[in-house]
Chain A
Amino acid sequence: MDMLEIKNLHVSVDGKEILKGIDLDIRAGEVHAIMGPNGSGKSTLSYVLSGREGYEVTEGSIRFRGRDLAELNVDERAAAGIFLAFQYPIEIPGVTTMTFLKTALNAQRKARGEAELDAVRFLKLVREKAKPLNVPDEMLKRALNVGFSGGEKKRAEILQMALLEPALAVLDETDSGLDIDALKTVAAGVNALRNPERAMLVITHYQRLLDYIVPDAVHVLSGGRIVKTGGKELAHELEKTGYAAYDADAA
């Protein structure tokens, strides 16, 4: 069975149609990349998967592990195994990263009927996941994303993903705001999470990220539709030709 099955998906924001009939299937173990010019609907796709309010599905369906996503709200989707790594992670003043991580993990465990982790076991788990991402204890004690550099924010996102172990990870422009060293760290963190049970959808404007997170398939999104699908080499092709050839208005 497909992990994610999107059929003829139309999505409107404030009455304006942004996605105009998307079809996309992702199997467990696969990494798919969505590339496209600004305004093509990439972030809309990520938000509609997460269930954000204001993103209205007007037609079509999204099934996640055989389940209609329309039945699940934002936090239920997260507990069911969908994770969105934000392009611009939100600052949460007053809530330490550690408290946030513990609250999130235990909320998901509770929703799945699993026992909550006690402080000791949680701390051990966090440290184990934080180390390869170069997230020091000091950062965990700071309020989530408040005063974090671009690299710290993205590392914090990947740490959340590593801890929450989603079945489907959606990475929205994870490369934005990163220098090459930070990009490598983040990509290594993502690659470490690749496994046969997990699927990933990597949304990016640039091919650069895909040198480090090598996808199984690349889709070009333009004007709210997937206009081309290919292998990893398609990303390199786009890097040379740009998106002009796929411009919806020009086509």
Chain B
Amino acid sequence: MNDKAVQIFAETYDRERAVLPGADGWLARRRDAALKSFVEAGLPHRRLEEWKYTDLKQALEKAAFVPAPAHEGAVVLPDMAAASAFAAIDRHVVVFVNGRHRSDLSKAVRLPKGVELHSLTDVLHEQWVKELVERRFDDARQSENVVDLNTALMRDGAALRIRKGVCLDKPLHLLFLAADGGASHTRNLILLEEGAEATIFESHIGVATTFADIVTDIALGDEARLSHVKLQHEGAGAVHLATLRARLAAKSRLSSFALTLGCGVSRTQNFILFAGEGAEAHVNGAYALKAEQHADQFCVIDHAVPGCTSHSLFKGVLDGASVGVFQGKVIVRPHAQKTDGRQMTHALLLSRDAAMNAKPELEIYADDVQCAHGSTIGELSRDAIFFLRSRGIPEVEARQLLVSAFLDEALDLVPHETACEALRLLVAGWFADGEGRA
């Protein structure tokens, strides 16, 4: 373990072990084991196939990421547009600042009976929490290592359990604000029991040089339905590492959408495991990058049982010298007949210096399935720009119209109408902020 970053994380663990939540129970043992495993493997490096295009090690070693300090009082961020993106929507809000729950800023009242919403630190004794935290996803071995880092150091997060048949009355917004530099290790746990329904917004906003390490563990019971909208808009020096792991029981449905706008380096991982027949996963995303930004979308969908549907569409625009990565894999196990799997990724390069790496993969072991995947990387059509300009639309506006139209196909999939409009406004703001240079 010669890595500087690994050493810092290990030292942090030694120092904080006694004060991290759950120091006196099962979690302490789990943390010890996770740290050991993380240190042994080290940070993922580019020689690992799953990390070929993203140098997390280098990104983390640029800044020494010790834990962010606790923050008290009001939070002032220069870019409040992203922080208040969902403000017009009637919703429950749970706020975390520097990775710590802030009940004074949160507003989640009169939750329906059967909805249990807590700070993770308050429910560590519960069996379902233990089960979700200890759950491993075998097919993500190379990525499991960063989950170990999270398990060892996780400080807080949201724990939501919705009982059988209960529907969350309005969206739950988990708002993560980074007010100061430093690392925050967040674990969210979401359990929807049979037939339960919820919509969750998750936003990560900040400007400082931060390392946001987030793992969101989801378990959907039979016929449960979860809509998940994630917005990432952190500072140019920030590193964002988010892993969403979801296990879907029979006839359940997950609709997730992630918009990536901020950060120096971000890696957004999705691991979807179909565990019951007739389930559906819609895992979609969009990103708009500029300058030196690097964003990696990683998505593994495991059709371990028959008759499930997974649709993924990731679209991104890259300006400046930004770099985009899409790695997606749909696995169809030998007995997973009648699988419907679709995975598409499209990128638009707005600058000669931008780059895109796309690796869509299908691994099919069953013979009665419908699977498709595709990838395109292109640039704006000069003919289309000329056509629009010939009708009096100035060049910058013409480019914006074409890029918006390109992203709209993905944004249309945001599983909440008003949130969809909110994200569109943020994308429009992205243009106003500098796109349009020829």
**Interface positions of A (Cβ within 8 A of B):** 50-53, 73-75, 77-79, 83-84, 86, 89-95, 99-100, 103-105, 107-108, 111, 143, 160, 164
Contacts and interface: CB of A to CB of B under 8 A. Distances in A.
Contacts of B437: none
Contacts of B406: 93-94
Interface of B: 381, 383-384, 386-395, 397-398, 401-402, 404-406, 408-409
A103 B405 contact: no
A75 B402 CA distance: 16
6 shortest A-B CB distances, which residue pairs?
Answer: A94-B405, A78-B392, A108-B392, A104-B391, A90-B387, A74-B389
28 contacts: A51-B390, A73-B389, A74-B390, A75-B389, A75-B391, A78-B390, A78-B391, A84-B390, A86-B387, A86-B390, A89-B387, A90-B381, A90-B384, A92-B387, A93-B405, A94-B402, A94-B406, A95-B401, A95-B402, A99-B401, A100-B391, A103-B393, A103-B401, A107-B392, A107-B393, A107-B394, A111-B392, A164-B392
Contacts of B397: 103, 107
Contacts, number: 77
A95 B405 contact: yes
A94 B405 CA distance: 5
B402 A164 contact: no
Contacts of B402: 92, 94-95
A94 B393 contact: no
B384 A75 contact: no
A94 B389 contact: no
Contacts of B388: 92, 100, 104
A75 B401 CA distance: 15
Nearest to B407: A94
| Chief secondary structure at chain B's binding surface | helix
Contacts of B389: 73-75, 78
Contacts of B381: 90
A166 to B, nearest CB: 9
Contacts of B387: 86, 89-90, 92
Contact of A75 (B383, B392, B404, B408): B392
Contacts of A164: 391-392
A160 B391 CA distance: 8
A74 B438 CA distance: 15
B348 to A, nearest CB: 11
A100 to B, nearest CB: 8
A99 B391 CA distance: 13
B386 A52 contact: yes
B409 A53 contact: no
Contact of A92 (B394, B405, B409): B405
Nearest to B400: A103
A53 to B, nearest CB: 7
A92 B384 contact: yes
Contact of A74 (B386, B401, B404): B386
Contacts of B384: 90-92
Nearest to B393: A107
Contacts of B395: 74-75
A74 to B, nearest CB: 4
